Chains A and B, each alone.
Chain A
Amino acid sequence: MNRHTLFGGAYALAFFSFLFGPLVIMATTAFNSSRFPRVAPWECFTTGWFGELFGNARLMEGLMNSVIIGVGVVALAVPIGLAGALALSELPPKLRSMLYTVLILPILIPGVVLGISTIVLWGQITRGTGAGFLYNGYFLTIVGQITFVSAYAMLVFIARLQRFDATQTEAALDLGATPGQAFRKILLPFMAPAIGSAAFITLLASFENYNTTVFTVLSESTFTTALASKVRHGTDPSLSALAVIIITLTLVGALTNEAYQRRKEAESGGRASRSPLYANPVTRALTHPGIVFAILVTVIGGITYAGSQYDSSVCEAAVLQEKLDRQEELRAEQRARIEAQEAEQGVTVPKPDSAFGGAFGGVGTPAAPAAPKPESPSAFGGAFGGITAPEVDE
């Protein structure tokens, strides 16, 4: 029994470290001043990478583009998805399964294919009709993403529509509502939660899409494509800072949603009247999702402000000085060793032309060929400075 719980605990620990370990490590690297994202060696606590992130013009421009494209995709994909779901619910079963397959197909087609075909199709159309102004990254990305994102929205709506009682619409019509009124006053309020989730899902799908977007965005870039190209050129901890921001936003959203769900459940289940938590006006107010959200935002806002005021330059300068000192030390060591070698071998200066010099000397005295110009920092940097060398350069 005891051994079982021990094993279970260990397994749970291993499982959660596997899940969340990378996130914790990445979040930690965002606060290390080291130029390469790492936890050890720890140099200085810094919030500078957040500033670096927001100072990256290419990323910020991509973020702006992503927002524009995301809004456009949501505005078009949600109505299209709703229309598709409604159409499916009205059709006879045989036709329905056929149309369903057709509408779902874009999800199954690789994004690369969708991206390329979007460019080809709209290139032809815009050239053919003289609507060349449409051939730009924003428009193409929106239409390219809509082809599959609206199918996601449709799936959300289909699930909700299955629980809709069609006689509600009939009742509304019978009571004198026009079809439009029945749609607005009966069906839409019923679909409201699904519209919310569909908008959220489509926004995320648009935001994080790479495969299709990388083609359709042409010379522009979205946040995701900008990020990808940045990673290709070498990573730095400002990406960890981005990860911290995304994790924080997710946590705030999840906690607020959880508070909302629990309250709703307690109220509809009649548990609210019995729970002491809801009897006390203070705790009742504190568990309100709005208050929970406000508290989280206040705390994060405070931390952000405190972080923005933190100055790590003294520490960083000290670390830099330490590195320079260490380098100087190494350089001095090197000089001393060379001098000692020269003294040992007398005045027999190695002949650079000698075939043997290259063959034998290479192993024993690696720095020997560079001896004539020992002052060059780059030569020593390459040989001894190792990882610290780039910092000296910049």
Chain B
Amino acid sequence: MPDQTPDRIPDRSVLLDHVSIRFGNFTAVDNANLKINSGEFFSFLGPSGCGKTTMLRCISGFSEPTEGKVLIGGKDMAGVGPNKRPTALIFQHLALFPLMSVAENIAFPLEVRGVSKKARRKKADELLDMIALPGIGDKKVSELSGGQKQRVAIARALAVEPDILLLDEPLSALDLKLRQHMRTELRAIQKQVGVTFIYITHDQGEALTMSDRVAVMSRGVIEQVGEPDHIYNRPRSAFVASFVGENNALQGVIKGQSGDLAALETPMGTYEARVGGGRKYKAGDEALLFVRPEQLIPGATENAFHATLTRQEFEGATNHVFAKAGDTELRISMVNAGLAGSLPGQGESLSLGFQPMNGTILPVGHMASDS
């Protein structure tokens, strides 16, 4: 719309400008430098204790960065308390007020801003319609189911009309089916209200399915920021490769590099694979080779491991096959071909090959299982 003046489009971006947060000697967040765009669904993904909740509390104003600046909508938030920031936080355990009714909960942000009782009730009813729970305004919080509480918490946070909605693992307490349903719903709500969502989770399924972009964190460091498929297909560090999805890892020595591809010598042979993160290696550098279980093709002889099948785990659509190549156990995912197909038997020898573009060579670093 050309006639729309620029100030009518609120700037809902968040800029973390070299943010470090320390508690005594412990560094919870180390030099985070990142821009979250206006209207984006952005996730911080990482194992517990990686600093993602600290980051969230820093954005919402419950703690101040030790170093660096947090800018919301282009404004420096230093010294601005949580009640003055254009953010709303959905707590892990929701923190609904048990002594208030559902409508009072939702209208609480309006109550503290001095909005009249009638207008509050109207807004609460509107928001209840939006979360598809009309008519429950007079119920007690304790009478709601887990999924309903979830949605009431979202409605309460949206009542402030925040620019940024921060969500701290809000789905972790729900059962699997409900969690999957809420993923779709959260995404739909985000599209509807156009607010920037910053989502904290240790569940990669949530992060990958809902987000526009994901930041993977480990030990206080942002390891990689990118779209979900980039994170999965183009990991830039050993941690990201091992934390997001399943991966087979092999250590070896670089023999040579040409462009995007490099050759890595391992005890089982020499393999060609893509170089992660556009790095340059010299011959003799130590490196890790990552190959996803679904990229290992039985029967392929190029770029292949010679392995013996040890065991299988059946999981409906996929079959997890484990095979031993030298000292390394490889994990292979096979699509269940149904009754028409056949699976290799125990003790059978297999040749497992992969396309050079589907393997990733990354520098040696800590892995998900280390932390």
- A residues touching B (Cβ–Cβ < 8 Å)? 165, 167-168, 170-179, 181, 185-186, 189-190
Chain B residues whose C-beta falls within 8 Å of the C-beta of A178 in the assembled complex: 83, 112
Interchain CA distance A173-B95 in the complex, whole Å: 12
Interchain CA distance A170-B159 in the complex, whole Å: 17
Chain A residues whose C-beta falls within 8 Å of the C-beta of B93 in the assembled complex: 165, 167
Chain B residues whose C-beta falls within 8 Å of the C-beta of A181 in the assembled complex: 112
Question: Are A176 and B109 touching (Cβ within 8 A)?
Answer: yes
Interchain CA distance A87-B312 in the complex, whole Å: 58
A167-B91, A167-B93, A170-B91 known; A175-B160 Cβ under 8 A = yes
A229 to chain B, nearest CB (A): 48
B281 at the interface (CB under 8 A from A): no
Question: Are A173 and B99 touching (Cβ within 8 A)?
Answer: no
A175-B109, A176-B109, A176-B113 known; A189-B99 Cβ under 8 A = yes
B121 to chain A, nearest CB (A): 17
Mask: chain B, 42-64; 1 = CB below 8 Å from A; 0 = not: 00000000000000000011100
6 nearest CB pairs, A to B: A171-B95, A175-B109, A177-B112, A167-B95, A174-B89, A173-B82
Interchain CA distance A175-B60 in the complex, whole Å: 10
Question: Are B62 and A176 touching (Cβ within 8 A)?
Answer: no
A175-B112, A178-B83, A181-B112 known; A170-B99 Cβ under 8 A = no
Q: Which of A165, A175, A190 contacts B88 (CB 8 A)?
A: A175
Residue of B nearest to A178 (CB): B83
Question: Are B95 and A177 touching (Cβ within 8 A)?
Answer: no
A183 to chain B, nearest CB (A): 12
A156 to chain B, nearest CB (A): 19
- B residues touching A (Cβ–Cβ < 8 Å)? 60-62, 81-83, 87-89, 91, 93, 95, 97, 99, 108-109, 111-113, 156-157, 159-160
Interchain CA distance A190-B95 in the complex, whole Å: 13
A185 to chain B, nearest CB (A): 7
Interchain CA distance A176-B89 in the complex, whole Å: 11
Chain A residues whose C-beta falls within 8 Å of the C-beta of B91 in the assembled complex: 167, 170-171
Chain B residues whose C-beta falls within 8 Å of the C-beta of A185 in the assembled complex: 108, 111-112
14 A-B pairs besides A175-B109, A175-B159 with CB distance below 8 A are: A167-B93, A168-B97, A170-B91, A172-B108, A172-B112, A173-B62, A173-B83, A174-B61, A174-B82, A175-B108, A176-B83, A177-B109, A185-B111, A190-B99
Interchain CA distance A165-B95 in the complex, whole Å: 8
**Pairs A–B under 8 Å by Cβ, sample size 10:** A170-B62, A171-B91, A172-B97, A174-B61, A174-B83, A175-B112, A176-B83, A177-B108, A185-B111, A185-B112
Interchain CA distance A252-B159 in the complex, whole Å: 47
Chain A residues whose C-beta falls within 8 Å of the C-beta of B108 in the assembled complex: 172, 175, 177, 185
A287 to chain B, nearest CB (A): 22
Chain B residues whose C-beta falls within 8 Å of the C-beta of A175 in the assembled complex: 83, 88, 108-109, 112, 156-157, 159-160
Interchain CA distance A173-B157 in the complex, whole Å: 12
Question: Are A186 and B97 touching (Cβ within 8 A)?
Answer: yes
Interchain CA distance A146-B81 in the complex, whole Å: 36
Interchain CA distance A174-B63 in the complex, whole Å: 12
Residue of A nearest to B104 (CB): A185
Residue of B nearest to A169 (CB): B95
Residue of A nearest to B84 (CB): A176
Chain A residues whose C-beta falls within 8 Å of the C-beta of B97 in the assembled complex: 168, 171-172, 186
A51 to chain B, nearest CB (A): 48
A381 to chain B, nearest CB (A): 72
Chain B residues whose C-beta falls within 8 Å of the C-beta of A168 in the assembled complex: 95, 97
B132 to chain A, nearest CB (A): 22
Chain A residues whose C-beta falls within 8 Å of the C-beta of B62 in the assembled complex: 170, 173-174
Chain A residues whose C-beta falls within 8 Å of the C-beta of B157 in the assembled complex: 175
Chain A residues whose C-beta falls within 8 Å of the C-beta of B95 in the assembled complex: 165, 167-168, 170-171
Interchain CA distance A167-B94 in the complex, whole Å: 9
Interchain CA distance A241-B344 in the complex, whole Å: 96
Chain B residues whose C-beta falls within 8 Å of the C-beta of A167 in the assembled complex: 91, 93, 95
